[in-house]
């Protein structure tokens, strides 16, 4: 597939003839080339253009080539620096390599030598980027370890992911915001034969409609104001891999037509272009909206909906998989304790009951944020207490918590838990009776004197 973006090269040399010859040769080789006659001019150009390659003479009037290289690398650490040296400056060029230069070329030289060095450097950078990408993704272990859940709804999701990962079929993931749709998309990708290629993610609801088409399909130079060079879009970036289109329901009718063609033909044109670009991608879409309802309201194309909905996967909300909350809490505690280099924390039973009884409208994302906050607040204490949880979670009505008792792997203190249960029953009865101790005792089938003794023992007299 044709590469759309040309690498940009800056040539820095005070010898006019040599500078012009290098510019002409590299331009003919397909690079986008600019030139500067001294170090000061070069640094000014570097500030405004993120060059891929810098080719600079070691000896320049004013600022020397090494200084130019260091200034450029400070702005763009991945820039490829190549030093041109004259007789007697090879040692200095070697020193420049220690400071970040990729290679050096000694005068006199053939122009083809510069081209070969640049190609080698670009290939080395490409391999480095690919290796870094794969290592990053492998660290995430997107098999199933990153997706926590033992509940029946999640086990059904895992089974579906395992079944369909080996296919190329289009997948539509539905579920409320924060349920982990992107994690499922990555699990599908990294369990497929495309795992060694990229998965490119795109939130269709986070980009203005005027820019979304260019982001998805790319554009040619001059297609619109500001399109200074041809740029490839997300579909081309995902060639041979997977593209994940989140919040697909936000796509305009015009773009829906173009996406339908990609689904059918696996081809499109860049914005402003006429050349047909063919891609080999697997498409995974996701939405928190009810696409079928949108189809009924003529807000989403029915033909596109059925093309996307080849394999549907629905992710349950957190309130529909409450039994997974302790596992998720433990997972996030471990994550944030490790990142902060803290001793592993636990959740006090009363805090766990609050977590279990809260409705979690923001789903897993909201739970993760709550745990991150709690780990930050807990300090040197081991248990996360109710006071460490967000206010809206603390306000959860806990009078139904008895059926939600959770026994962690490390066990519980029986006497402490029984005392907490007793305390909660008394507080709830007092709340229901408006603070009337006689009525509260009646609700608990206790004598008033017995209730008062318990209030004193539990240090609750000041709270009523």
Q: pLDDT tens, 159-169?
A: 999 899 999 99
Q: What are phi and psi of 199, to 5 degrees?
A: -110, 120
Task: Report d(CA 118, CA 55) in Å as an integer.
Answer: 9
Q: Specify the 3-state DSSP secondary structure of 364.
A: helix
CATH 1.10.8.60 placement within the chain = 319-412
pTM over 0.85, yes/no: no
Q: How confident is the model at residue 95 (pLDDT cuts 50, 70, 90)?
A: confident
Report the CATH number of the 319-412 domain: 1.10.8.60
Mean pLDDT on 215-220: 92
pLDDT at 374 over 90: yes
Task: Report d(CA 225, CA 220) in Å as an integer.
Answer: 11
Tens digit of each residue's pLDDT (9 = 90 or more) over 255-283: 999 999 999 999 999 999 999 999 999 99
CATH 3.40.50.300 placement within the chain = 152-316
**Burial of residue 38 (number of CB atoms within 10 Å: 0-12, 13-18, 19+):** middle
Task: Report d(CA 387, CA 389) in Å as an integer.
Answer: 5
Tens digit of each residue's pLDDT (9 = 90 or more) over 401-455: 444 555 666 666 677 667 777 887 888 888 888 888 899 899 888 999 998 888 8
Residue from 26, 39, 38 nearest 118 by CA: 26
pLDDT at 409: 61
Q: Specify the 3-state DSSP secondary structure of 241.
A: coil
Mean pLDDT of the chain: 86
Report the CATH number of the 152-316 domain: 3.40.50.300
Provide the β-strand partners of residue 244: 201, 284
Tens digit of each residue's pLDDT (9 = 90 or more) over 135-179: 555 444 445 556 888 888 898 999 999 899 999 999 999 999 999
Helix or strand (DSSP H, E) at 422: helix 414-432
Mean pLDDT on 198-219: 91
pLDDT at 322: 87
Q: Specify the 3-state DSSP secondary structure of 401.
A: helix
H helices present in 10-151, as ranges: 16-28, 39-48, 65-75, 90-98, 111-140
Check if CATH label 3.40.50.2300 holds for domain 8-133. yes
Report the CATH number of the 414-464 domain: 1.10.10
CATH 1.10.10 placement within the chain = 414-464
Token look-up 């053939």 returns: 110
H helices present in 238-324, as ranges: 253-265, 291-296, 302-308
CATH 3.40.50.2300 placement within the chain = 8-133
């Amino acid at each position: 597939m044709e590469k759309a973006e040309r690498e940009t090269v800056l040539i820095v040399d005070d010898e006019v003839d040599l500078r012009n010859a290098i510019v002409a040769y590299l331009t003919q080789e397909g690079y986008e080339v600019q030139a500067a006659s001294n170090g000061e001019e070069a640094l000014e150009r570097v500030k405004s253009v993120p060059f891929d390659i810098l080719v600079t003479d070691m000896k320049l009037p004013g600022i020397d080539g090494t200084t130019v290289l260091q200034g450029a690398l400070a702005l763009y650490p991945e820039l490829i620096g190549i030093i041109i040296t004259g007789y007697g400056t090879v040692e200095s060029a070697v020193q420049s390599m220690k400071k970040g230069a990729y290679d050096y070329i000694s005068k006199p030289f053939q122009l083809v030598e510069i081209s070969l060095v640049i190609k080698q450097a670009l290939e080395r950078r490409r391999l480095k980027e690919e290796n870094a990408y794969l290592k990053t993704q492998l660290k995430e272990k997107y098999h199933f370890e990153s997706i926590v859940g033992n509940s029946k709804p999640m086990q059904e999701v895992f089974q579906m992911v395992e079944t369909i990962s080996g296919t190329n079929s289009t997948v539509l993931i539905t579920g409320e915001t924060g349920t982990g749709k992107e994690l499922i998309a990555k699990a599908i990708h990294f369990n497929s034969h495309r795992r060694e290629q990229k998965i490119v993610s795109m939130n269709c609801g986070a980009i203005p409609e005027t820019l979304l088409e260019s982001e998805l399909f790319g554009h040619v130079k001059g297609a619109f104001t500001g399109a200074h060079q041809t740029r490839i879009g997300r579909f081309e970036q995902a060639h041979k891999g997977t593209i994940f289109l989140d919040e697909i329901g936000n796509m305009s009718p015009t773009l829906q037509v173009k996406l339908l063609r990609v689904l059918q033909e696996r081809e499109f044109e860049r914005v402003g272009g006429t050349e047909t670009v063919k891609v080999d991608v697997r498409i995974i879409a996701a939405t928190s909206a009810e696409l079928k309802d949108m189809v009924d309201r003529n807000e989403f194309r029915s033909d596109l909906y059925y093309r996307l909905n080849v394999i549907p996967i629905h992710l349950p909300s957190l309130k529909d998989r409450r039994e997974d909350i302790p596992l998720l809490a433990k997972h996030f505690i471990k994550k944030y304790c490790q990142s902060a280099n803290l001793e592993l924390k636990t959740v006090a039973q009363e805090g766990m009951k609050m977590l279990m009884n809260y409705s979690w409208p923001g789903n897993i994302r909201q739970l993760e944020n709550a745990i991150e906050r709690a780990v930050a607040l807990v300090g040197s204490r081991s248990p996360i207490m109710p006071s460490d949880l967000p206010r809206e979670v603390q306000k959860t009505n806990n009078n139904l918590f008895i059926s939600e008792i959770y026994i962690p792997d490390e066990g519980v203190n029986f006497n402490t838990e029984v005392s907490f249960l007793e305390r909660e029953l008394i507080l709830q009865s007092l709340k229901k009776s408006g603070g009337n101790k006689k009525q509260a005792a009646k609700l608990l089938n206790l004598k008033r004197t017995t209730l008062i003794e318990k209030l004193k023992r539990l240090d609750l007299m000041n709270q009523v």
